[in-house]
Chains A and B, each alone.
Chain A
Amino acid sequence: KAGVTQTPRYLIKTRGQQVTLSCSPISGHRSVSWYQQTPGQGLQFLFEYFSETQRNKGNFPGRFSGRQFSNSRSEMNVSTLELGDSALYLCASSPTGGYGYTFGSGTRLTVV
């Protein structure tokens, strides 16, 4: 079966701009989680969506937001980009959350 698909793979944005990243989960998976990965901080949890509702939220500023659609696809948005937002953004899907997470290959965001 198809894995978790994240688009785009690479993105370069300028400070102050906004960006939207997309994640298509494994078919049948209803939970989608987002993580930010940087060399200094490792993998940090952003938020989790389950059945179109945000179920958990990490410790990130309000510039980071997300949503989930009825087909379980999810998007995350970062507004007013800062240089420190440069990172690999990973999406993971799970049947119901709590276990069985499968990660996508990520979107590499570079803010210049």
Chain B
Amino acid sequence: GESVGLHLPTLSVQEGDNSIINCAYSNSASDYFIWYKQESGKGPQFIIDIRSNMDKRQGQRVTVLLNKTVKHLSLQIAATQPGDSAVYFCAENSGNTPLVFGKGTRLSVIA
């Protein structure tokens, strides 16, 4: 079946630097993409989403980029802080189909 995958399982960044987390997806019919953050002992927390009719969307310190040509999604976190340390998941779906999650990338922020 279709799947969503991540390029890197772990990422370590210095506090204050920018972080980039990447995600590849294979379902060309997907039209909705989401990034979630999961801290230890908690459920996934919504960060930002983007629809397929857009290629960029910005939030507070976060930006999601969507490249439909190569089926690639990325999450950029500006001025990474220790509180950003968590596992980040990308997810995608189309219409009312279930969310399909990637395996996750662990982000570690070095103070």
Contact = CB atoms under 8 A, between A and B. Distances in A.
Determine if chain A interacts with chain B: yes
Interface of A: 4, 6, 33, 35, 42-43, 45, 48, 50, 55-56, 58, 90, 92, 96-99, 101-106
Contact of B32 (A55, A90, A99): A99
Contacts of B83: none
B86 to A, nearest CB: 13
A42 B87 CA distance: 11
A104 B44 CA distance: 8
Contacts of B93: 98
A43 to B, nearest CB: 4
A43 B98 contact: no
B41 A105 contact: yes
Given A42-B101, A42-B104, A45-B100, A98 B95 contact: yes
B108 to A, nearest CB: 17
Contacts of B49: 99
17 contacts: A6-B43, A42-B89, A42-B101, A42-B104, A43-B89, A45-B99, A55-B96, A92-B43, A97-B96, A98-B93, A98-B96, A98-B97, A99-B32, A103-B36, A103-B45, A105-B42, A105-B43
Given A42-B104, A43-B89, A98-B93, A103 B43 contact: yes
Contacts of B101: 35, 42-43
Interface of B: 32, 34, 36, 41-46, 49, 89, 91, 93, 95-104
Given A42-B102, A55-B96, A101-B99, 10 more contacts: A35-B101, A42-B89, A43-B44, A56-B97, A90-B43, A90-B44, A92-B44, A98-B93, A98-B97, A103-B36
B44 A103 contact: yes
Contacts of B97: 56, 98
B67 to A, nearest CB: 21
A93 B21 CA distance: 26
A7 B105 CA distance: 28
B66 to A, nearest CB: 15
